[in-house]
Amino acid sequence: MNYDVIVVGGGHAGIEACLASARMGHKTLLVSMLAENVGATSCNPAVGGLAKGHLVRELDALGGEMGLITDAAGIQFRILNITKGPAVRGSRAQIDMDQYRVIARNIVLNTPNLELVQETVDDLIMEGDTVVGVRTDLLNEYKAKRVILTTGTFLRGVVHIGEITKEAGRFGEFAANNLTDSLLKAGLNVGRLKTGTCPRIDSSTIDFSVMEAQPGDDLPMPFSFRTDREKFKQDKEQLPCYITYTNTLTHEIIEQNFYRAPLFTGQIEGVGPRYCPSIEDKINRFRDKDRHHLFIEPQTKDNTECYINGMSTSLPPDVQQEMIRSIVGMENAKIVRYGYAIEYDYVDPTELTHSLETKKVKNLYLAGQINGTTGYEEAAAQGLMAGINAALSLEEKAPLILGRDEAYIGVLIDDLVTKGTKEPYRMFTSRAEYRLLLREESADMRLSKYGQALGLLDDETMANVNEKIAQIQEGIATIAATDYTPNKEFIAFLESIGEERISDKINAQQIISRKSFTLEKLSILIPELGKYSAYIQEQILVEAKYARYVEKQQEDIDKMKKNINIKIPEGFDFAGVRGFSKEVIDKLETFQPPTLQAASQISGITPAAIEILHIYMKMAEKKK
């Protein structure tokens, strides 16, 4: 019962953590309450979305598993925000929830260096301020050099359905009621959060004919860079989702039952997710809206049960039945499982270092919802990094810390450990300062070098990435070497492809960067680029289109890195900096950081604030 790494919890964070540790050559144990629920998707039957898709692509580029499982279990694939710029597009897939779980569990069970036991961890075994193992409900003691907690919503979990409460980590599963005591004894700051899920409906009782169909993309794109794209496009069968709406009757039913809503009666104390509120919270907060979108999503490829995205609720069962049947297309709907809210414990993530190791307990790592996040993707990204860093620590190597300019994963972890969170944290593209550098399709080019160095990606995969990089660079060089003059033939050519004429000599990149310029026009303008696949041509187009903006963003990053170790003068007047909020001033005055680097590590101090501070420091120096 001695291991290098023990991972507690078999959700998305736990899967990535234990696979990373085992694949890096360390004897690993996964402790999960139910072996058959390893990889269970507790809430919605989907992976990815805006910014979340970036996280999945990045963990795939590092050698994680979520993208590959999603490609195998996916039943619909779409690119969100397709009409907007590539930096804010997001891949999303509907998944067969049953198949996803089975695939994930089988990968875990067949991975060398990895064992699985079905028990509940009740206690951490400590030696001073160092964790050395775990004790379970069966009184078994498992020793390890590193422990990773990925407990999801199970720490003292309480389910709410109307006035009814049940101790549970998920509906029908026991809560982990004892482990929090170990965290509190260790001096960690523990808080309470809330999330929820919606009713599930028998698909045969839904009238889809009166709803708006939402099909997948005609040419679906896989999540994993390791999936054969062309074969995937040809073979992947997709199911439609549907859109319907709440209405004034739905709202009246909900509003008339506010007095029975645990969210409003004081029954629920934990803070819920701001950006994914329950339906009763939406009706209460947005009283001017006469309807809200509902997305009807199949949970499996057999489509026997549907998830009602947009209707998370903890209202009583009779109210749920009434409000569901008020919706067009669901007048005869039968609820298979009622929606519910769940409260659970989490640890203030400012208790962690950037490696996800706790500051107060040596060799203890936390990942996923225990750190205050919400979502499968955020959890998986943290799990992968915790597993990697626990393994690197065993090898006495420096942790892998991704910068905010390198990955959304870097943004996620930096936000958590420096700013903390008082509500479930969700990733958005707006949280990333360097979005143009962090596009989904560049994830492999940014991060695969780390995956290969860690032994999580094989040489063939890295060779494919290097070939992609070489082709894109070659294409960009071809564009940079191509100039045009405003002769009659070229002006006529521009008009033939729907582009404005030129009046002076111009480089091809300037034409390509036009908003009107499309992928279809690229190989017409520069025929040499036709030798590349459509996928590579698209990457060349994006790189050329945004070259000047990317260059400017890179200059900002280089400038920040150059200035980050500049010393802040003693006694500097932070209150005299215009544009600083009182909160920022108070924190800077309290901590008195000696350098800009130290200031950037203070919770709530943004990169923009560091830039402003540096400007005022230079102004003060000039006055001297």
Query: What Cα–Cα distance (Å) separates residue 561 from each residue in 133, 400, 405, 597?
Result: 39, 18, 11, 9
| Distance of alpha carbon 209 from alpha carbon 328, whole angstroms | 10
| Distance of alpha carbon 376 from alpha carbon 66, whole angstroms | 9
Q: Tell whether the model's pLDDT for residue 137 goes beyond 80.
A: yes
3-state secondary structure of 586: helix
Q: What is the pLDDT of residue 564?
A: 72
Q: Please state the φ and ψ torsions of residue 497, each to the nearest 5 degrees.
A: -105, 10
Q: What is the pLDDT of residue 623?
A: 84
Q: What is the pLDDT of residue 401?
A: 95
* Per-residue pLDDT tens digits for 546-564: 888 888 888 888 877 776 7
Q: Tell whether the model's pLDDT for residue 603 goes beyond 80.
A: no
* Per-residue pLDDT tens digits for 27-39: 999 999 999 999 9
| Distance of alpha carbon 351 from alpha carbon 184, whole angstroms | 12
Q: Tell whether the model's pLDDT for residue 600 goes beyond 90.
A: no
* Per-residue pLDDT tens digits for 341-356: 999 999 999 999 999 9
Q: What is the pLDDT of residue 441?
A: 93
Q: Tell whether the model's pLDDT for residue 233 goes beyond 90.
A: no
* Per-residue pLDDT tens digits for 356-415: 999 999 999 999 999 999 999 999 999 999 999 999 999 999 999 999 999 999 999 999
Q: Domains of the chain: which residue ranges?
A: 200-341, 465-551, 564-623
Look at domain 465-551 and name its CATH class: mainly alpha
Fold match flag (200-341 vs 564-623):
no
Widest CA span in the chain = 86
| Distance of alpha carbon 585 from alpha carbon 227, whole angstroms | 49
| Distance of alpha carbon 353 from alpha carbon 363, whole angstroms | 11
CATH topology for the 200-341 domain: Elongation Factor Tu (Ef-tu); domain 3 (2.40.30)
Q: Which of the four CATH numbers 1.10.150.570, 1.10.10.10, 1.20.120.1730, 3.30.390.30 does domain 564-623 have?
A: 1.10.150.570
Amino acid letter, residue 378: E
Q: What is the pLDDT of residue 236?
A: 87
* Per-residue pLDDT tens digits for 520-537: 999 999 999 999 999 999
